[in-house]
Amino acid sequence: MRNEPLLGGMAQSAVDRETPLLRPGNTNCGGCGMSNLLQMMRRAVADRPVQLVIPACCAAISAGAFPQAGLGAPTVLTTFASAAAVATGAAAVARLNGEETRVICLAGDGGSYDIGFATMSAAAERNEDILYICYDNEIYGNTGGQRSSATPAGAVTTSTPGGKVEQKKDIMAIMAAHRIPYAASLSLAHADDTLRKLRHALDLRGFRFLHVLSPCPTGWKSEPALGMELVRLAVRSGLYPVLEVFDGRRHQINIEPEFSDEALEMYLSLQRRFQNTGLKASDLRPAIERHWLNLRVLSGRIVPARRETR
């Protein structure tokens, strides 16, 4: 079954890494965005030698129960807050020995936005030679769906039964402020965008950060088959900006949204986590507009002066 083209080469092609990163028989939920990400990474990684560093998160479960290995690359599973530190050690030893190994941190939003934040920030500040990928399902998925600082306002979680009040943390702005060589948000619904950024990030040296909006049917209370559609709606509506930041200075917007309220309503209505809080597209639109105004300025667009509507 080695590199046999599946689905006409869409699901598996000749350029893919020989061993899948996410092996058959893994225990990920159906429709897990991290599964899609790992399959895309298989293609992007190709023949580059990689090692994975995974803190406590859903991907640590993907690694399978001893002695089976659910992940097709050498992997070290770390404590929750230390992925970037452990990756620092592994990458440093690879460099000392002149090895080309790409050390990849695969961490959830809890391990990146919250408990592992200081560790990630410090590794970025030291510009360690790590590719840090945050697959963001906007909750603590592994423990059954509690709020994190990546959970958007209005989402019901098991620890915010009335809906989260606070805004989602702007992780891209924070990582860009570290002036790392490369920070990018990528859309799993746009395969070319995902592949290009993964490949670019794999080949760069220094600290690279990738932010991936990762659908979680279990936590979002959404249909597993609709995961990619949800990402597409988040991109179309402007809710999830897809951009790259080079050296923390040059901002490049990759996908121009339609800012469609219809897409935003659809995004909200397809997830039960938003349904009981009565959140509407019009509630989110002002924050989206403010955020995009800022992104336009950062990306060097001339922005017409305008008064903010109240």
Partner 1 sequence: MKGQLLSANHAAALAATLAARANRTGRGFCSGVYPITPSTECMEFLCAQQIEKGRVVRVESEHSAMGVCIGAAAAGARSFTATASNGLAYMAENCVAAAGLRLPVVMAVANRTMGPPWNIWADHGDALMLRDLGLIQIYCADNQELFDTVLSAFRLAEDQRVLMPAMVCMEGFILSHTVAQTEIPSQEQVDRFLPLTSVPQQLGSTPHSLGQIELPAQTETHRMQHHQAMLAAETVFEEVRGHFADIFGRELQGALVPYRTEDADTLIVSLGTMGLTAQRVVDRARERGEKVGSLRIRMLRPLPVAAIAREFAGKSRIAILDRDISLGFGGVLWGELARLAQAPVVQNYLAGIGGGDVRPEHLERVLADLKGRRQSGTPVNVEAI
Contacts with partner 1 by CB under 8 A lie at 19, 49, 51, 53, 60-61, 63-66, 69-79, 81-82, 84-94, 96-97, 118-119, 121-122, 126
Closest CA to 282 of 299, 308, 262, 253: 262
| Cβ atoms of residues 83 and 43 within 8 Å | no
Structure tokens at 135: 């697959």
d(CA 166, CA 49): 41
Structure tokens at 95: 């460099």
Least spacing, CB of residue 39 vs partner 1, in Å: 16
Least spacing, CB of residue 69 vs partner 1, in Å: 5
Least spacing, CB of residue 274 vs partner 1, in Å: 32
Structure tokens at 195: 């592949």
d(CA 229, CA 233): 6
Q: Which is nearer to partner 1, 131 or 295 (CB)?
A: 131
Least spacing, CB of residue 100 vs partner 1, in Å: 11
Q: Which is nearer to partner 1, 71 or 176 (CB)?
A: 71
The four Cα atoms 298, 303, 305, 308 give a dihedral, to 10 degrees, of -60
| Cβ atoms of residues 217 and 223 within 8 Å | yes
Least spacing, CB of residue 116 vs partner 1, in Å: 10
DSSP structural state of residue 63: T
Q: How many CB atoms lie within 10 A of CB 53?
A: 26
Q: Which is nearer to partner 1, 56 or 242 (CB)?
A: 56
Structure tokens at 103: 């050390």
Least spacing, CB of residue 195 vs partner 1, in Å: 22
Least spacing, CB of residue 202 vs partner 1, in Å: 16
Q: Which is nearer to partner 1, 49 or 300 (CB)?
A: 49
Structure tokens at 164: 């989260």
DSSP structural state of residue 166: S
Q: Which is nearer to partner 1, 53 or 263 (CB)?
A: 53
Cis link prior to 67 (omega < 30° from 0)? Answer: yes
Q: Which is nearer to partner 1, 153 or 174 (CB)?
A: 174
Q: Which is nearer to partner 1, 76 or 228 (CB)?
A: 76
Closest CA to 81 of 41, 123, 50, 52: 123
DSSP structural state of residue 22: B
Least spacing, CB of residue 133 vs partner 1, in Å: 17
At residue 116, what are phi and psi to the nearest 5 degrees?
Answer: -95, 10
DSSP structural state of residue 206: S
Pairing of strands 102-108, 50-54: parallel
Q: Which is nearer to partner 1, 77 or 226 (CB)?
A: 77
